[in-house]
Structure 1
């Protein structure tokens, strides 16, 4: 990725090349070339040199006439230059069909185009799927493009990435969404996106009993404010049914006398939620500004400690 910054704005231009992170020199911004395993990285540096020089020349040419290049112009400049056709031999030798044009670049650009209509978390999941496809190309040793995409993707997610059933389903859904858009916009997609699927088994829903919720609520956490903050966030979710992303985004203006009125982070739908009596003192902490939002992963770590303190330890079967 080329990061182009001017006039206080930063633009990302994807060049369609991937490399293992351990082979990349962050300080010098180039591929490592020392050592036996890095012997082929010199070609990557040579490949990156050309778009770097073309991007710099594009910027200089625009500044010379008092303008700035647009993001679309920068992306066009960074695209590989088409080689001049060679004269056909007297007896042409059949060659394999070329790979589809710029699959990874097109996917990345499509994701960025969704920024105005999708939440940051949704964009993050699409970038994760793109990263899985890059990993597939590196692990399997073939070019992933519009002609080959989908081959072995589910198997790669299961065996190499060790993803669970629901995660495989979601990654294939995102790929189908992109490929449907690509077909509608004239890209040479070979496979039928409708045939990409994964039989999804409904997840087991694990719940706490009323007694367990009460034990959690009754814990004396006056000496452990971090755990008390995490408990309050969790119990607001229990009492309101809101997703964690919506609990973390609660503000005083969302709280009315006996209800919450919230525009959800995931679906952008506005919902009205009645407030149970147990939730009111917790929501008062939101209004007072004394309840701190946490990252989901951090909250999960605190919940394990809270469950231990509340002796929530009933044996439970989970099928994976």
Structure 2
């Protein structure tokens, strides 16, 4: 017959409560629960902390002992019936499992979140992404590392060590508040951190680790903010294309690369690596680097003229130089009007909203957004999405930068065109009596 008893051997100070698990003459094992109690607060007869006012911890400890006893018996019945060897190490492991403690240093990543993230990052380069058939990108791994560093800062700030069981709504509120109020990080960036935490935690959950169920709660969400990025209208792109940069080669070269980006809708990782082999029968064909999507784009007249001028594609430059030079390209072309947007503060290293000269807000991201925004309403959305790579129309509509007034003007233009095509006549209205 299997029996469980709890023992306190100490005489002074807080002492460990031991568990003694005995099964007739088959075995008799003891191990520490690592729960503490003052010896004079312990009732050997009742096998629990006495119900006295001095023992303010009595309810918590007694609840733990009650749940532990049930857990040990349940695990014993399960393992013993399948031939698992029951020994003292088995007992120690089950106690650790019940209290969500690591059994040794090698199993820290099965209890604590940060060691798991470190192992998750370490294995990322060899992990193949479903649907893309390629490893995790360097950019994604960088995102994992920045999230890990924020969690390290959080642990140091609150003198804690996050377990999987700690990933609940209390942690969520505390972490978001810490980033937003103490570190002055905007909600969009916080949303990226939360999204990464959820991704990694769900992977841990799939591995059978004790991730708190709140990780999938609707309130454990990644905050999103509407992008305040600007875009260039078609008329503005034409100004840049036609501007005389007076033979300054770096500006002319950057301008030509910029026009290719604006007229193809490709990401910078794609349009800066275009070469002659991507031109087929007057179309640009490329497999996108980020999504592995094959896209075919008709060649815009401006792109065709640039290729003829260079007898191929313009000189290649780095992403960093491209972003630096196109700001000057836009400044020289006269885009100095003050507009609302967000820029990184060089002192705080935080993105801050404000009013800035338009050219300062220009970056490579403007290419794809301008392409989509300018074509919106002119051709079917699905045609634009086939090039931009948006999976849903909802995503696409959030991405484009068309103001309500611009939408109203498009409708106005449509009605005027409809009036001309149908030769509407002015109706003489009479009041009915």
TM-score range, shorter chain: 0.5 to 0.7
Residue among 104, 119, 123 paired with 1:109: 119
Name the CA shift for 1:314/1:155 in 2 (closer, same or farther; >3 Å): same
Question: Which residues of 2 match residues 109-148 of structure 1 at below 5 A?
Answer: 109-115=119-125, 116=128, 117-148=135-166
Check whether the contact 1:236–1:283 (CA below 8 A) recurs between aligned residues: no
Q: Which residue of 2 aligns with 1:310?
A: 333
Measured after TM superposition, the shift of residue 262 of structure 1 is 1.4
Measured after TM superposition, the shift of residue 215 of structure 1 is 2.3
Q: Which moved further from structure 2: 127-136 or 190-199?
A: 190-199
Residue among 171, 181, 191 paired with 1:159: 181
Distance 2:116 2:35 in 1: 36
SS of 2:232's partner is: coil
Check whether the contact 1:236–1:247 (CA below 8 A) recurs between aligned residues: yes
Measured after TM superposition, the shift of residue 127 of structure 1 is 2.0
Distance 1:174 1:298 in 2: 29
SS of 1:231's partner is: helix
SS of 1:192's partner is: helix
Name the CA shift for 1:233/1:91 in 2 (closer, same or farther; >3 Å): closer
Residue by residue over 1:178-229, the C-alpha shift from the partner in whole angstroms, topping out at 9 and shown as x without a partner, is 1111111011212422232134233235222333222222333354333333
TM-score (norm 1): 0.63
Q: Which residue of 2 aligns with 1:298?
A: 321
| 1:190 is aligned to 2:219 | no
Q: Which residue of 2 aligns with 1:71?
A: none
Check whether the contact 2:306–2:313 (CA below 8 A) recurs between aligned residues: no
Check whether the contact 2:251–2:325 (CA below 8 A) recurs between aligned residues: yes
Distance 1:161 1:189 in 2: 27
Residue among 282, 292, 296 paired with 1:258: 282
Name the CA shift for 1:212/1:178 in 2 (closer, same or farther; >3 Å): same
Name the CA shift for 1:91/1:212 in 2 (closer, same or farther; >3 Å): closer
Measured after TM superposition, the shift of residue 255 of structure 1 is 2.2
Distance 2:33 2:323 in 1: 66
TM-score (norm 2): 0.48
Q: Which residue of 2 aligns with 1:218?
A: 242
Measured after TM superposition, the shift of residue 233 of structure 1 is 2.4
Q: Which moved further from structure 2: 286-295 or 250-259?
A: 286-295
Residue by residue over 1:112-156, the C-alpha shift from the partner in whole angstroms, topping out at 9 and shown as x without a partner, is 433243222222222222222222222333213323344422223
Q: Which residue of 1 aligns with 2:198?
A: 176
Measured after TM superposition, the shift of residue 170 of structure 1 is 2.1
Question: Which residues of 2 match residues 1-320 of structure 1 at below 5 A?
Answer: 88=32, 92-93=36-37, 98=101, 101-115=111-125, 116=128, 117-149=135-167, 150-151=171-172, 152-195=174-217, 196-221=220-245, 223-283=247-307, 288=312, 290-295=314-319, 297-318=320-341, 320=353
- The total of aligned residue pairs comes to 235
SS of 1:142's partner is: coil
Check whether the contact 2:191–2:222 (CA below 8 A) recurs between aligned residues: yes
Residue by residue over 1:157-186, the C-alpha shift from the partner in whole angstroms, topping out at 9 and shown as x without a partner, is 323443333222222112111111111101
Larger Rg: 2
Distance 1:288 1:87 in 2: 76
Check whether the contact 1:231–1:306 (CA below 8 A) recurs between aligned residues: yes
Name the CA shift for 1:268/1:191 in 2 (closer, same or farther; >3 Å): same
Check whether the contact 2:274–2:313 (CA below 8 A) recurs between aligned residues: no
Check whether the contact 2:245–2:251 (CA below 8 A) recurs between aligned residues: yes
Name the CA shift for 1:173/1:308 in 2 (closer, same or farther; >3 Å): same
Q: Which residue of 1 aligns with 2:420?
A: none
